[in-house]
Amino acid sequence: MNDAGDNGPARPHDGTDRADDFTVRLRVNGRAHDLRLDPRVSLLDAFREHLHLTGTKKGCNQGACGACTVLADGERILSCLALAVQYDGRDLTTIEGLATDHALHPLQAAFVEHDGFQCGYCTAGQICSAIGMFNEFQDGVPSAVTANVSSPTPELTEEEIKERMSGNLCRCGAYVGICDAVRETFANKVTR
């Protein structure tokens, strides 16, 4: 794969800087990384090819599947549609940054307990999306199924979970386990 990923013309990677490269400081999982990147490099390719954080997956590379979902300042984004230069200085969290002190994040543990994955390809995006989704829910952001948008529902119902997670696809069909894991984790009000 080239420096520009699928977002630009192929260029040989010889380790040298080019005049059009930018210095970008990405703060990923609590650590700052200064990178020289072509301005067309996606955030996903910066994670995978420059920082060697391969937990975030490249599924469709078109923003349709959600496999590449990560958190930017606590909000979920599709890293395949984001340019790395857009996130200079922002706090970014990938699946690798969720565990603390060698213990899984409670949502990661719930995915294991409830069989919220099969092949696992979408799992990192599902988990990051669910954390971002819960942050949105706590901030009072309504969904398409919220009955009263001026006074959002005080509980995260199964209908709300399914609607809010609908941008993350699972080819294996592990949706029942995913919903169970999300409901159990966030019923206990675990955040970020």
Q: Which domains does the chain have, with CATH numbers?
A: 22-95 (3.10.20.30), 106-187 (1.10.150.120)
Cα–Cα distance, 116 to 124 (Å, whole number)? 11
Cα–Cα distance, 27 to 6 (Å, whole number)? 23
Query: Helices 175-187 and 123-138, interaxial angle, to 10°?
Result: 40
Average pLDDT in the 135-164 region? 86
Residue 149 banded pLDDT, cuts 50, 70, 90: confident
- Give yes or no for residue 2 having a pLDDT over 80: no
pLDDT of residue 151: 73
Tokens 């592990």, residue? 174
Q: Which two tokens stand for residue 95?
A: 């699946």
- Give yes or no for residue 17 having a pLDDT over 90: no
pLDDT tens-digit series, residues 35-78: 999 999 999 999 999 999 999 999 999 999 999 999 999 999 99
Low-confidence winner among 52-61, 120-129, 168-177, 181-190 (lowest mean pLDDT): 181-190
pLDDT of residue 127: 98
Cα–Cα distance, 159 to 161 (Å, whole number)? 6
The alpha carbon of 105 is separated from its chain's Cα centroid by a whole number of angstroms, namely 14
pLDDT of residue 191: 44
Note whether 119 and 172 are within 8 A (CB). Answer: yes
For the chain, what is the mean pLDDT? 89
pTM: 0.86
DSSP 153-183: -SS--HHHHHHHTTTS--TT--HHHHHHHHH
Measure Cα distances from 133 to 4, 117, 137, 145 in Å: 30, 18, 6, 14
Residue 11 banded pLDDT, cuts 50, 70, 90: very low
Cα–Cα distance, 23 to 21 (Å, whole number)? 7
pLDDT of residue 16: 59
Note whether 21 and 36 are within 8 A (CB). Answer: yes
